[in-house]
Structure 1
Amino acid sequence: MTSESPFPPEPSRASVISHPSGQDRSPEVLIGGQRWPVLTLSLSLLPPVPRIPLCHGLEPRGLCPVGPSRRGAEAGAGRGGPSAGGAGPGRAGAARNGGDGGMGWALLVVGLLMAVYTLLRYGLRGAPRPRARPDLRGRTAIVTGGSSGIGAAAALELARCGARVILATRSARRGEAAASRIRRETGNNQVQFMHLDLASLRSVRAFASTFLRQEPQLHLLINNAGVSAGGTTEDGFSLPFQVNHLGHFLLTQLLLERLRSCAPSRVVIVASSAHCAGRLRPESLGRPPSGLFSTFQDYCDSKLANVLHARELATREQGTQVTCYAVHPGFVNTSLFRHAPLWLKPLLLPLAWLLFLDASEGARVVLDCATQDGLEPLSGRYFTDCGPRLPWAAGRDDRLARALWEGSERLVGLGTAGGHQEGHREGRREGAAAPTGQ
């Protein structure tokens, strides 16, 4: 079967100069009284335009040339075979075109989502206000949890200001790496790592003993380290309550005399707005709570303890030039959320990446309370990025703050003769009788 193609034949690609019909030379043009030949380039120099079948809904099917797919269909029909209408190359090409279109829409949607993310993440929040920091040369600071997150960002800025910075962290590998990175970025060689595991009261005592033996000064203590995971420590206490509160309470008490001798000095305790859901009972301090959301409740209890610790410490240190501040750094995307329940991570992690602050932004209010002049009259207050704020009602309960202080002294073995063994045994007894928060 033959058919004439409706497309004109392609011109020969051998012709370069076209000669008008009836002339034996090229056309000329008169310029400045002289004749100049005109060269005309043939379209055959351009690559041939591919022939696009127009039969797929663009032209009447009768005008479409017989292509390979139709020939294949007819040949198949002539042999008694099945029609190729459902599996010919034309349909395959259409399927490929449809796939390319779907990919284009997918890329467009991804691009729009990225644009929305950028707008929300950086546009609507506004640019952060620049902070002026004082010169801290000659001053010594301890930052717990200084190997990552808010602690690392705060330590970096303190080192930039010239302070001697001790990174008190549990992991030697991460602590040494963070100290090396900060020294390299700031040029300040007075950044050191010291081992501290707040989940072990024995480690807290060993750290304090080593620090007091090696370091003659201490002007700034930033109690930053924290966990949100459930569990029980080797001392028998709830893991979040000991790491977030009890360990820091003992550390502060062991270093308090050095802070007094180097006054004016400050203690900054990283708390959280989650203290609003805290429910502290002095008779059951250190016990993991029960219930479906026990881990979250445990975390909120420890954050309430942070707020009350700062309040009571400020009351007890009046007249010593040691001041204390509780800080809510904001919702910050840090490794704290690695302990979130598996069912919550698919919702929480995208929100954290999209809307939460990064570590350097979260460290701003911590650094403000650590370095800003004129905050002494506000000792014991609760701070956010907007300045001092009233905590929730439980965070303003002075009687509860006093009961927490006395109970914490008892649990860590301070305040009474022979109290270390008594508090240790009681902590183990309470922890053993209570279920873990996991």
Structure 2
Amino acid sequence: MTRTQAARRARLLPGGGTAAPGLGAAPSSFPKPQQAGPSPTAPAPPRPHGPAVAPRSTSEPGAPGPDGTEPRRPAAMAGVGAELGEGLGEGLLLGAGLLLGAYVLLYYNFIQAAPCASAGGLQGKTAVVTGGNSGIGKMTALELARRGARVVLACRSRGRGEAAAYDIRKESGNNEVIFMMLDLSNLASVRSFATAFLSSEPRLDLLIHNAGISSCGKAKENFNLILRVNHVGPFLLTHLLLPRLKANAPSRVVVMASAAHSRGHLDFSCLDRPVCGWQQELRAYADSKLANVLFTRELATRLEGTGVTCYAAHPGPVNSELFLRHVPAWLHLLLSPLAWLVLRTPRGGAQTPLYCALQEGIELLSGRYFANCHVEEVPASARDDRAARRLWEASEKLAGLTKEGTQSPSSQLESPCGPSVQSFQKPSTL
């Protein structure tokens, strides 16, 4: 058999074996491996019932990428996330805009003070401002000095008073700003101030009762300290300086009042009873502000025809030391930012007192109550003429202007906080 015939025969043998040359056909020693997978002639496996399930793709959510990195989100899901984020951002911006708009409305309608529009000068005039070392009193004194007035800062603290006088002289360019000692809680100090003033100052055109307290602090007195500082002391000072005011008419008296007068109630049976605790202090403050309004009303009646007019001025909600002075330090830190946002500045609070002191044409409104640089009505309790006369008579006794008042009967009352003791720390007045 030739070689060509042997090769042709080998191709025909099963398994593809080849015969050795010169030999008969023989099977191959190493059979050819079969390919994986079902034989073309093998029957197909049975198809499972139900819909066909496609093999899991590596592009499905949650499947890791080919390099083991985090899976990619489908474009649709990424779009939904972007829309949610954009909507949240727009909502926050809208909320912030609404809050800002509400604050602007609140500020311009309730917080911002109406400015005093009077442009009159005060050259040759003399003004006394009690508590002029800080807050509303300092801003009032500064404006009066800018208009050319000689300004006397009547304050309890010498250091703070002289520092405030220096600041006002420097800022206003007016060197006629001086300090004089006055402690409204001490009636002897009130008399001493009046004597010193009348002996050194030939004029008095404006008397502005700005000083006041809202708390007794650590002081323990055998009388109502809040009423003494806010009403009785100013009542006595007005009485002592009234001849000089009349001599320089037209002149004015401005009494710092408050909207708290509407909550006040004067109990004449215990008007000068000592105050103890913050609840009694709040009531005593409201009572003293009611006394301010009634005092102004009665004073206007008694001064009719003298050329001396008087006004009760409400400065509005002001960010000053009046209420934050005695709160704990931690509470002061919490309230200070809030007060800065929702309360007027001392300069804003000074506008209504300045209006009452300077505005022309309001003489016929003597004895009235002003807020936001215009006259306002007061509740019935604050326009009770009978109560105003009774308060005047009681104040004369408390100020020692009558024989019965040389020593206040209420000073014999025992303090509800315990036996009366001498004050060991006086609260600072504005």
Q: Same fold per TM (> 0.5)?
A: yes
In structure 2, list runs of 5 or more residues that go unmatched: 1-59, 70-88, 421-426
The letter of the residue matching 1:157 is E
What displacement does 1:281 show? 1.6
| Alpha-carbon spacing, 1:308–1:232, altered in 2? closer, same or farther (3 Å) | farther
| Residue-by-residue CA offset, 1:87-128 (whole Å, 9 max, x unaligned) | xxxxxxxxxxxxxxxxxx9xx99x959967974675666685
Give the alignment of 1:170-319 within 5 angstroms: 170-230=156-216, 236-288=222-274, 293-319=279-305
In the alignment, the residues of structure 1 paired with residue 146 and residue 63 of structure 2 have an alpha-carbon distance, to the nearest angstrom, of 76
Q: Which residue of 1 aligns with 2:397?
A: 410
Q: 1:298 offset after TM fit, Å? A: 0.6
Please give the alpha-carbon distance, in whole angstroms, between the structure 1 residues aligned to 2:113 and 2:370.
21
User: CA distance change for structure 1 residues 229 and 127 in 2, over 3 Å: closer, same or farther?
Assistant: closer
Rounded Cα–Cα distance in structure 2 between residues aligned with 1:234 and 1:337: 19
Amino acid at match of 2:210: N
**TM-score, L = length of structure 2:** 0.71
Look up the SS of the partner of 2:169 in the other structure.
helix
* Aligned equivalents of 1:329, 1:251: Cα separation in 2: 21
**What SS does the corresponding residue of 1:216 show, helix, strand or coil?**
coil
TM-score (norm: length of structure 1): 0.69
8 Å contact kept, 1:147–1:179: yes
Q: 2:364 matched to 1:377?
A: yes
Q: Is the 8 A contact 2:113 2:351 kept in 1?
A: no
1:42-121 correspondence runs (5 A): 61-64=64-67, 119=104
The alignment of Structure 1 onto Structure 2 pairs a total of residues equal to: 338
User: What code does the residue aligned with 2:407 have?
Assistant: E
Match of 1:428 in 2: 411
The alpha-carbon deviation at position 319 of structure 1 amounts to 1.2
Larger RCO, structure (CA 8 Å, separation 6 or more): 2
347, 355, 361: which one aligns with 1:360: 347
Deviation at residue 391 of structure 1 after TM alignment: 1.2
Tell whether the 8 Å contact from 1:199 to 1:233 is kept in structure 2 after alignment: no
Per-residue CA deviations over 1:261-303 (Å, capped at 9, x if unaligned) read 1111110000101011111022211113578721100100100
SS at match of 1:249: helix
Contact 1:121 1:354 survives alignment (8 Å): no
Q: Deviations over 1:26-65 (max 9, x none)?
A: xxxxxxxxxxxxxxxxxxxxxxxxxxxxxxx999644457
Q: What are the Cα deviations for residues 305-351 of structure 1, in whole angstroms up to 9, with x where unaligned? A: 00011011111111111111111111111100124655976875444
What is the 5 A alignment of 1:132-171?
132-171=118-157
Matched, 1:387 2:374: yes
Q: Distance in 2 between matches of 1:421 and 1:360?
A: 40
Single out whichever of 377-386 and 140-149 deviates more from structure 2. 377-386
Q: Which moved more, 1:392-401 or 1:342-351?
A: 342-351
> For residues 367 and 103 of structure 2, what CA distance do their matches in structure 1 show?
38
Secondary structure in 2 matching 1:293: helix
The one-letter code matched in structure 1 to 2:406 is Q
> Aligned equivalents of 2:395 and 2:193: distance in 1?
19
Determine if the alignment matches structure 1 residue 323 to structure 2 residue 309: yes
Q: Which residue of 2 aligns with 1:89?
A: none
Separation in structure 2 between the aligned mates of residue 290 and residue 235 of structure 1, nearest angstrom? 10
Change (3 A) 1:195 1:63: farther
Question: Which amino acid counterpart does residue 343 of structure 2 have in structure 1?
Answer: F
Counterpart of 1:333 in structure 2 is: 319
Q: Take 1:127 and 1:383, find their aligned partners in 2: how far apart are those partners?
A: 13
| Distance (Å, rounded) in 1 between the aligned partners of 2:411 and 2:352 | 36
Q: Distance in 1 between matches of 2:278 and 2:353?
A: 33
